[in-house]
Amino acid sequence: MLEFFSNKLDTLHCHQTSMLQELKIAREEIGKVQEMLAASQENKQEMTEEDEIFETKGTAAQQQTPNCNDSEKPLEGANARLEGLKESLSQREKEITELLETEKTPMPPVPAPPCSVLLPAVIHKAHAVCGAVAESRDYLDRLIEDNQAALAAAREKLENLNNEEEVSTDRSDTSESRLSFLHETVKDFEVHKIALDCIKSGESPVMNDCEALDLEDILGQGTDGVKSIGQQLLLLQDQLKQEKEEKRKIVENYTLERTLRKKYYNMVEDMKGKIRVFCRLRPMNRNEAGQGGTAFVEKIDDYSVSVETPRGLREFQFDKVFGAEASQDEVFQDTSRLIQSVIDGYNVCIFAYGQTGSGKTFTMVGDKDQRNPGIMPRSFNAIFDITRENSSKFEFKVSAYMLELYNDRLQDLFISQAAEAQAQTQPSSQTRRVEIKRTRKGVVFAQGAETKEASSAQELYALFQQACANRHIAATKMNVESSRSHLIVVIMVESRNLTNGSISTGKLSLVDLAGSERAAKTGAKDHQLKEANSINKSLSALGDVISALSADLPHVPYRNSKLTQVMQDSLGGNAKTLMIVNISPSESNLDETLTSLIYATRVKAITNNAQRNVESKEIAQLKEVIMKLKSGLTVDDGDV
């Protein structure tokens, strides 16, 4: 209630202020009209004197002289009105002063006056103010009328004088000065008219510079004052625009700085041999979207991802985070610099990690019809693009072996499951066993696996397709095409420098791990349960290796699983390694997502010691000789 009265009082204050302003202007107007009346009186006297002269001269001009008395009638009327107005003005001023005095009287702070007292007082005041405002309006209207009458009279006088001047042959100085005086008078009344009309309508005047200057005098302030609101608005708009532009620049600089900082940080980390970890969030699938579709995992920026856990929001930082909208191309762009390292003679390992159905195969291989090829096929193209570009300085040899680790058994994917099964049924046949070995430099290789050469990306891709056809894939509840094995694609690039004969050998290991899963969730039974157990066992061994390496433990349990043996040089060894942790956005996978992210965070702490595998021409030759001798071949002078 009090708030209501306070608002009412505010409104009344506003009325009062505007009324005072109107009165001020009216008072100034009265002053002006008075001045004009005085001037008109003088003018009248002058004209009377002139008329007397004209009379004595007995000229016909006397008949043509305008009847000044008639035209001055409105001015006289205005004079009389002025007197009346002055009186009513002083009366109103008195009332307003009283009103203000009442207003100034401090309200008793506590307790607030009862509504029954306050309300009649407010109503009384409101009536008084409204009455005063209405009176002021009437007064303004009368001023406008008077001004109009005075203007019409002055115009008429001016017109008559102009006509008179046209017929007269002799132009005296007096008539010139009368003419200019009347011009000025008409102009004054016109400006007054603009001013009064503007006061009444509350609009800004539209006028030429001359009128503006006159109005400036009348209002007692510069036209700047009249125009200032618009100008100030424009100024403020300009300032706002500038501020926005500055803000945009600051954000742009900040983003640039942040990206650069991250880039340099990555470079330093690279130099230190740290494993790079990217995180990729897959889009919601149809099932998940149908269950409500709220994402519990979100990409915050290019380097952070947040997970909504029952205990609150958890944030994880990685070397790069790809959101659900990230394309295969974008993911590969950040990966491709590692392909150059392979050509330069480094061991590189790129592997995808994550629960079943999180998008590992999509990231590494691509979709089924290869409309969105993943890192593997893109790497094949990149390798041959680089070798082609450098073919004038180097001679390249590209070869590959492809394996799967299924039920803790390494299988050569260049040999079909059918051929292998048939070979095993024949008692005399010696099935080739694939075993993981390491060179003296610690580089892992698969002994017994068939290595095939490829001279183009297409050939390499054909080999890859052949290998994929031999993979173990099955439908689970979580993924219609779930990889039931770990896929290991190894490409070796040997490059011989045509200038100095040195040979470097780079190795690119691309690993699509099978997904960790919970049997109950995937609905695994019988042999699928066996597969799942084997997958989980190998992943758990990988987890142990990651934990030992990140905690800098003296013993790292590589030998606990074939998977960890295959990846020995990639985790804590002689390789540049990139892990891509794939995660699902859905609440139903929250536990698995958190586990994956925690493992991935640990991997970030692991340091590798990547060294270039390069041999001088002499060593390369000697190695070739040893190979020949070992295989019983003869060696001649040309070999050394």
Query: Which residues are known binding-site members for ATP?
Result: 354-361
Identify which of residues 226 and 514 has a Cβ nearer to ligand ATP in the complex: 514
Q: How far is the CB of 364 from ligand ATP (least distance, A)?
A: 8
Identify which of residues 356 and 495 has a Cβ nearer to ligand ATP in the complex: 356
Distances (CA, A) of 324 to 289, 300, 581, 617: 13, 12, 13, 49
CB 522 within 8 A of CB 355: no
Member of 139, 181, 332, 362 binding ligand ATP (CB under 6 A): 362
Residue 276, H or E segment: strand 276-281
Q: How far is the CB of 447 from ligand ATP (least distance, A)?
A: 28
Member of 16, 147, 358, 509 binding ligand ATP (CB under 6 A): 358
CB atoms within 10 A of CB 301: 11
CA 186 to CA 155: how far, in whole Å?
A: 6
Mask of contacts with ligand ATP, 515-544, x by CB under 6 A?
x-----------------------------
Full DSSP string of 501-548: --EEEEEEEEEEPPPB--HHHHT--HHHHHHHHHHHHHHHHHHHHHHH
Stretch 566-585 residues interacting with ligand ATP (CB under 6 A): 582
Q: How far is the CB of 296 from ligand ATP (least distance, A)?
A: 17
Annotated binding site: 354-361
Work out whether strand 304-309 and strand 312-317 pair parallel, antiparallel, or are unpaired: antiparallel
Burial of 632: CB neighbours in 10 Å, binned 0-12, 13-18, 19+: exposed
CB 89 within 8 A of CB 27: yes
Full DSSP string of 51-62: HHHHHHHT-THH
Judged by CB under 6 A, does residue 361 bind ligand ATP?
yes
Q: How far is the CB of 302 from ligand ATP (least distance, A)?
A: 16
Taking the CA atoms of residue 64, residue 164, residue 146 and residue 222 in that order, the dihedral angle to the nearest 10 degrees is: -160
Segment interacting with ligand ATP, rule: CB under 6 A, options 227-235, 279-287, 289-297, 536-544? 279-287
Q: How far is the CB of 434 from ligand ATP (least distance, A)?
A: 22
Q: How far is the CB of 309 from ligand ATP (least distance, A)?
A: 22
Phi and psi at residue 394, to the nearest 5°: -130, 155
CB 514 within 8 A of CB 361: no
**CB-based contacts of 128-136 (< 8 A; 24+ apart in sequence):** 128/95, 128/99, 129/12, 129/15, 129/16, 129/19, 129/99, 130/15, 132/19, 132/92, 132/95, 132/96, 133/15, 133/18, 133/19, 135/88, 135/92, 136/19, 136/22, 136/23, 136/26, 136/92
Q: Which residue is nearest to ligand ATP (CB)?
A: 515
Residue whose pair of structure tokens reads 């130099």 in the numeric block = 271
Mask of contacts with ligand ATP, 64-93, x by CB under 6 A?
------------------------------
Member of 143, 444, 514, 548 binding ligand ATP (CB under 6 A): 514
Segment interacting with ligand ATP, rule: CB under 6 A, options 41-49, 86-94, 476-484, 566-574? 476-484
Judged by CB under 6 A, does residue 354 bind ligand ATP?
yes
The span from the first CA to the last CA of the chain, in angstroms, equals 108
Member of 125, 157, 192, 282 binding ligand ATP (CB under 6 A): 282
Distances (CA, A) of 117 to 114, 121, 123: 6, 7, 10
Q: How far is the CB of 524 from ligand ATP (least distance, A)?
A: 11
Identify which of residues 25 and 281 has a Cβ nearer to ligand ATP in the complex: 281
Identify which of residues 362 and 558 has a Cβ nearer to ligand ATP in the complex: 362
Number of residues that bind ligand ATP (CB under 6 A): 19
Residue 41, H or E segment: helix 2-57
Residue whose pair of structure tokens reads 């173990």 in the numeric block = 472
Mask of contacts with ligand ATP, 141-160, x by CB under 6 A?
--------------------
CA 531 to CA 525: how far, in whole Å?
A: 9
Judged by CB under 6 A, does residue 479 bind ligand ATP?
yes
Judged by CB under 6 A, does residue 359 bind ligand ATP?
yes
Q: How far is the CB of 360 from ligand ATP (least distance, A)?
A: 4
Judged by CB under 6 A, does residue 483 bind ligand ATP?
yes
Mask of contacts with ligand ATP, 123-142, x by CB under 6 A?
--------------------
Identify which of residues 79 and 482 has a Cβ nearer to ligand ATP in the complex: 482
Member of 273, 283, 442, 448 binding ligand ATP (CB under 6 A): 283
Stretch 414-443 residues interacting with ligand ATP (CB under 6 A): none
Residue 398, H or E segment: strand 394-406
Judged by CB under 6 A, does residue 47 bind ligand ATP?
no
Judged by CB under 6 A, does residue 299 bind ligand ATP?
no
Judged by CB under 6 A, does residue 357 bind ligand ATP?
yes
My answer on whether omega of the bond before 113 falls inside 30° of 0, hence cis, is: no
Judged by CB under 6 A, does residue 482 bind ligand ATP?
yes
Length of the chain: 640
CA 400 to CA 394: how far, in whole Å?
A: 19
Q: How far is the CB of 361 from ligand ATP (least distance, A)?
A: 3
Residues that bind ligand ATP (CB under 6 A): 282-283, 285, 354, 356-362, 367, 479, 481-483, 514-515, 582
